[in-house]
Amino acid sequence: MQRVVKPKNPRAKRALVKREPKIIENTKQCLFLHGKKTGEFMRKCIKDIYALKRQDSKLLQSQDQLLPFEDILPVERLAHEHDASLFAYATHSKKRPNNLILGRMFNHHILDLIELGVDNYLGLEDFKNKKITVGNKPCMVFCGTQFEDLVDYKNLKNILIDFFRGVEATDVRLQGFEHALLFTATDDTIYMRSYKILLKKSGTRIPRVELEEIGPCMDLKIRRTKFASDDLKKKACRQPKHLKIGKKKNQSRDVFGTKLGRIHMTKQDLGQLQTRKMKALKKSSAKAKATNNEASTSTAEPMEVSQE
């Protein structure tokens, strides 16, 4: 039998209500972890990534050596305890140096896992300039045909969007675009770069856009992967009926999002259609009288005169 947890005070009750399934889910929480034997290089990396999404994430202290690909249960327990559906784990070993594992959960169980190797890392402290506002939603750009053609790159793109998407935005403000994340895939390497968007005066209504690198930047290589099956992925992506937009009769939208409607009418008699009256085509009064007289004389019958 499944154990039923009863709250002992109002604070515990609010926490349980917050964890209950919702039609519109909360922002995904993320856990950042690193092992006790992880070097300073990867600890700095995991802390800088945490700084980009500090608003909806937790950085935990050094944990015992975790092996997500071999035994995922300890990670699932930590995620369930902190109500997190995403995690990033930094490790370092002789076999796999500078290792970064990204994963996401569904229903408190592992859904996707991907292992990345980190090279040429430069952190936030290596760029001596002003940083972005905390909790800012980044603009993500993916360059390279690999993100559209290869399965591993497609899933990595999906996981990265889940990591950095943050709060779902309904309205967009131009001054709100402060951060840009660029992922470029060439050969077997993915180049991650982080930029601050600067809006300069241009003399017109449209500002001049400049990019300033703020870090972190790194080169990533895919090592090991463990993705969900098609059935599990379909179940995880299923939407509630309340959020599905039903099809409305005789309404459609084109590729530009314009709403189009179809109207059904009875057949029209074009012979009685009222056209626009124009002065240029209107006859003068003199010409109208002349045409009327000609018509009357032509229709009149000739009279017969008898001769005696």
CB 85 within 8 A of CB 75: no
Compute the residue count for the chain: 308
- Gyration radius (Cα) of the chain, Å: 35
Pairing of strands 139-143, 179-186: parallel
- Alpha carbons within 13 A on the beta-carbon side of 173: 5
Mean pLDDT over 228-254 rounds to: 83
Q: Does the pLDDT at position 84 exceed 80? A: yes
Mean pLDDT over 9-16 rounds to: 84
pTM above 0.85, yes or no: no
Q: Does the pLDDT at position 1 exceed 50? A: no
pLDDT at site 153:
94
pLDDT at site 147:
93
- What the chain holds in terms of domains, given with CATH numbers, is 25-238 (3.40.50.10480)
pLDDT at site 4:
65
Mean pLDDT over 228-247 rounds to: 82
Q: Does the pLDDT at position 308 exceed 50? A: no
pLDDT at site 159:
94
Mean pLDDT over 28-50 rounds to: 90
Weakest-pLDDT range from 17-21, 72-76, 123-127, 296-300: 296-300
Mean pLDDT of the chain: 84
